[in-house]
Amino acid sequence: MDRFQRDLKEKDFIFTFELVPGRSIRTQQFSEILRFIERAPEYDYFSAFSITDNAGGHPALSPVALGRVIKSLDLSAIIHLTCKDKNRNQLESELLALDRENLHNLLVLTGDYPFYGYLGRAKPVFDLDSVLLLQLITEMEKGIEIPKGAPGGGNRLPPIPFFKGCAVSPFKLTIEELWWQYLKLYRKLKAGARFIITQVGFSPSTLYQLKLILNEGLTKYFSERLNDERLHKPEEDSQFKQVPILPSILYLQAPLIKALLKGRIPGILLGRRVWKRFQEVGFSEEVALEVCAKLTVIYQRMGFKGVHLCGFPPNWELLKRFFELYHRLHEEVKNKEEVYYELLTEFDDYIVFEDNGYLIEKNLANIDKPLPKKRFSFSYSINNFFHNLFFSRKSPFYSTFLKFFTWVSKKRALEKFFSTLEYAIKRPLFNCHECGDCTLWDFNYICPQSQCAKYILNGACGGSINSFCEVYPYKKVCLYVRVLRQGEPREFMKGYLAKDPPYLPPRDWSLYRTSSWINFYLKRGHFKDEDRGGRN
């Protein structure tokens, strides 16, 4: 067991530190990071150093290179592993390489959408999402079984001792966005996440609500809010309660504040009172350190397991000042309880951001707010009618169509005709991408392959802002928000939570440009398991 895992078990409160490798090892920035890491044992502040994976969607040095240096100094590294530019095979290869380097602590993320790249924007991959990647790693921890037909098929590989965590962002502006964060967190925990590092936020009360819900029972909360006792699973709640939470704290600098105001950093919203504090006194290191130290003391008092420091330059003198300020405030809170409540008043649930040149102040969403009511949608109603008639296993015509499409599948010309017919209908209606493994009815008849920039199948990413997609801010509403705004949201959520296995499997690329109508009846792709096949 390395230091990070040991400290999570044995210490009351820990610190981790995020490193952002640059684009080259031949720069002053990288030399400074190396010197910073080499002096880490001298200060002994941190239980682990996390290393980003192409943060912001920009190309950068692989986190493995720095991880190897950190490991050589007998320190703990947390490798960020993202899905944005690796398919499932490359992700498995990278996990095997991490095992070889003895780098087993992982923060599993969907990842930022690719931005800058050689000769233009890089192609996004997102073959798996964070839930599916966590599930893959869980299988590798047990010893993954090689599929029959593959080289070495039928054999089980030796287990790998990974220790994986996940992220969650409870700092959202609309109730739909917030519900998806909680629901996706549920799937991540079910998939085996063993620690949580939250998104950056400036509302301690919002984060404390997340902690309370996990402590009191996540599935219990869902069952009460959705009025369905079947969703309550005490064994899972007991397990989730033990998962440590580390809130992220961001060291603010002037350019970063401007970027946050303009919504250029996916998922991070600037707190109103924090922003006003900088407006009053101007930017200074002292104010930035003060904000970080106060949040740290508040989170410690709230009972979180530790904090994750982000955005700090690799400068030990600056960090020394931060820890001195933190220890002083911590002693004041211990000696005077009212100091803690005074600190809380310096943060609130409001955020500020710019929208079309206007400065907006808006309250963060509260998970206790009711889900939106069912809205009538003609397109949803007609699609649901035809789905239940032709593509439900409960349909009175199911057995007839099963025989018909089984016969069609044996006639190559007829199979091609039905593929052409299907996509002639679905392209104009759904902007169909001809995946052949259709999940329309799992998303209230909105196609995730064409309507989600990251093609995510198991819950929204954390990058949305005020319901809008991080890739198309203020232009395109997030797919998952749209899903909850049509159909019956409560019933949809119940189906989402009751799904077993607890995830929608990744797209089967062997079915590309084949007929999903035929594949449904022949149980190909994700249709082979009725529990995974949506509301059939």
pLDDT score of 419: 93
Number of H helices, E strands in the chain: 22, 11
Q: Is 394 exposed, middle or buried (0-12, 13-18, 19+ CB in 10 A)?
A: exposed
pLDDT score of 530: 57
The values of phi and psi at residue 352, to 5°, are -125, 140
pLDDT score of 15: 98
Whether the Cβ atoms of residue 274 and residue 260 lie closer than 8 Å to each other: no
CA gap 164, 134 in Å, rounded: 8
Q: For the chain, what is the radius of gyration of the CA atoms?
A: 24
> What residues does 358 pair with on adjacent strands?
355
CA gap 54, 82 in Å, rounded: 9
**Quick one: which of 1, 111, 88 has its CA closest to 48?**
1
Name the residue with tokens 């509302």.
203
Whether the Cβ atoms of residue 349 and residue 342 lie closer than 8 Å to each other: no
Name the residue with tokens 């095997």.
96
Question: What DSSP line would sit under 246-315, residue for residue?
Answer: EEEEE---HHHHHHHHTT-STT--EEHHHHHHHHHH---HHHHHHHHHHHHHHHHHHT-SEEEEES--S-
User: How high is the mean pLDDT in each 10-residue block of the chain (536 residues)?
Assistant: 94 97 87 95 96 89 94 96 95 97 97 88 94 97 88 89 97 96 96 97 97 97 94 96 98 93 91 94 92 98 97 96 97 92 95 88 94 83 92 92 93 92 94 94 94 95 93 93 90 87 90 95 85 43
pLDDT score of 536: 44
Beta strands in 314-357, from DSSP E residues, in sequence order: 350-355
pLDDT tens, 468-499? 999 998 899 999 999 999 888 998 999 889 88
